[in-house]
Chain A
């Protein structure tokens, strides 16, 4: 019995002749944040969908808490505690915070056959949970469309945690956000991990990943370039692995500037 909460061993996925993923391995312990880095087209989306149970891997195995698991559908992954928060967040902007929070898993009350959606309880829980992460939901029946991008991201993560996620897969949670909003979301991710969740943070933004990650896996053209503990790798090394050496030279100047800005 390993001490890993979840292991993805040698995952490969082919679409016809196209090799989308080849032999990707990732291992996570409780409370750990693994950042999956990769440029556009590196195979991040395919990997996420494989983790989430949307795609079945053609090779390799998924081991959760020591048991080999085969996902037939996203629901299987969800049931076992692997919750994926996609870039689109699975939030309906026209619906209220509460209705979004409990979408698909509404709390019910009343006798059998006459069960109704327990809106009061749902409102209370939603407001409570959002309050815990410092988001002021004045009225849980307000539409999600009125919330900022960071708040929406936090709502989606908070929802996944509330419904028993053990492994949180986050797809580019900060890509659409400004610096401040991104830091709020990252802070929340760290907090979630410290409560015992394993987090897979998928991003192409090393600056967001490096401060929060415990380990880093770099994906390039469908293959893993290896997994590194934080102490074994620098931010610059990660960047160069992601982008390739030549690109780095060109970017170095710009990035220094960005580093300076984000440090401010």
Chain B
């Protein structure tokens, strides 16, 4: 033993990188949780490139279409992934979307609030709901699956009951006129890079409408939010102290607590994160549609979790990546839209979703065994 340690010490002192070089780049990549999702996304693109390459799916308009769907799912999938890495679930994401929608629409339409104030109100409610979920899970020690399942029903029920009570119906239209000149709404409702699309249109590089304006008018706000969130969450996970705490809280909450990680606070903040992400999703959709619907977001929580799992998150926590969840969302978004461009009946989408998830879980399990097995 002593001779061994001696030789290692001298090695360490002289050249530390020497031993690191032995691990090839490929092997390092194989250990990344998002690898499966990245590979899956590439396969999906290749598949549709072959099957639907000439159908307009990969025109500017078609691409923005499936990117928009992917991005919307991605926004909540990333937050769900962060929470899963932190060791918890949030099944109330979908209900939160519906709830946030009417939190914007009712004050704006029925109470005469300015739109920005309604949006701020919706986000405040999201923080409250997330905090409530988090504190319940942390304080009671109950599985988050149960706590947030209860919240799924409570929120959806309250959304429906309150909306009918206040408005007498289940949809609140009329928001579109309020967007213009609002100081906040543009953040969730502006297509960006319009000049680029106008230019591409003028160069006849992308499809035009009959009036000469391009069919695809700009990058939708969901895509910008999606990219922004993917970058910021990945940075948090890889580069910050809080990121390390998320992994630690999910990996072993007792151990993490024992070495001074504020596990409770980390988990509560992640629950707030999923509720806020649901509200971003809701705000974008409500402003895009110009109306809030009490049933908006139904079952979205399961799609978000599916995307996170495909993206490499373990259901037991402590492992996963935000960028993986983003790829997972891209896979689902692309397939759900791409299927329209093929001859396949769209009913098969759910079958694909389930099969994809199953494969991902098996793959992830294998990876985890590989990562944790003793040498």
**Is the CB–CB distance between B259 and A104 below 8 Å?**
yes
Q: Distance (Å) between the CB of A103 and the closest chain B CB?
A: 5
**Is the CB–CB distance between A88 and B254 below 8 Å?**
yes
A interface with B by C-beta (< 8 Å)? 74-75, 78, 84, 86, 88-95, 99, 102-106, 108, 115-117, 119, 124, 127-128, 131-134, 136, 138-139, 143, 145-148, 159, 184
**Is the CB–CB distance between A94 and B243 below 8 Å?**
no
Q: Distance (Å) between the CB of B5 and the closest chain A CB?
A: 3
Bin the interface of chain B by size: 35 or more
Given A124-B16, A127-B12, A134-B2, A108 and B241 touching (CB < 8 A)? Answer: yes
| Cβ 8 A contact of B8, one of A94, A136, A184 | A136
Q: Give Cα A103–Cα B259 distance, bound, in whole angstroms.
A: 7
**Is the CB–CB distance between A116 and B240 below 8 Å?**
yes
A128: B residues at CB distance < 8 A: 12
Say yes or no for B221: interface residue by CB 8 A criterion.
no
**Is the CB–CB distance between A95 and B372 below 8 Å?**
no
Given A115-B241, A134-B5, A138-B19, A103 and B375 touching (CB < 8 A)? Answer: no
| Cβ 8 A contact of B241, one of A86, A92, A106, A134 | A106
Which residue, of B2, B259, B371, has the highest number of chain A Cβ atoms within 10 A?
B259
Q: Distance (Å) between the CB of A189 and the closest chain B CB?
A: 15
| Chain B residue with the shortest CB-CB distance to A146 | B375
**Is the CB–CB distance between A92 and B261 below 8 Å?**
no
Given A95-B248, A145-B373, A75 and B260 touching (CB < 8 A)? Answer: yes
State which residues 215-240 of B face A: CB under 8 Å. Answer: 239-240
**Is the CB–CB distance between B9 and A184 below 8 Å?**
no
Q: Give Cα A138–Cα B254 distance, bound, in whole angstroms.
A: 28
A138: B residues at CB distance < 8 A: 19-20, 22-23
State which residues 255-299 of B face A: CB under 8 Å. Answer: 255-261
**Is the CB–CB distance between A94 and B371 below 8 Å?**
yes
A102: B residues at CB distance < 8 A: 244
Given A90-B252, A94-B318, A133-B5, A78 and B375 touching (CB < 8 A)? Answer: no
Say yes or no for B350: interface residue by CB 8 A criterion.
no
A131: B residues at CB distance < 8 A: 5, 8-9, 12
**Is the CB–CB distance between A90 and B372 below 8 Å?**
no
B16: A residues at CB distance < 8 A: 124, 127
Say yes or no for B1: interface residue by CB 8 A criterion.
yes
B181: A residues at CB distance < 8 A: none
A124: B residues at CB distance < 8 A: 16
B259: A residues at CB distance < 8 A: 90, 103-105, 159
Say yes or no for B245: interface residue by CB 8 A criterion.
yes
| Cβ 8 A contact of B252, one of A75, A91, A132 | A91
B261: A residues at CB distance < 8 A: 103-104
Given A94-B251, A119-B239, A147-B374, A103 and B12 touching (CB < 8 A)? Answer: no
Q: Give Cα A115–Cα B5 distance, bound, in whole angstroms.
A: 35
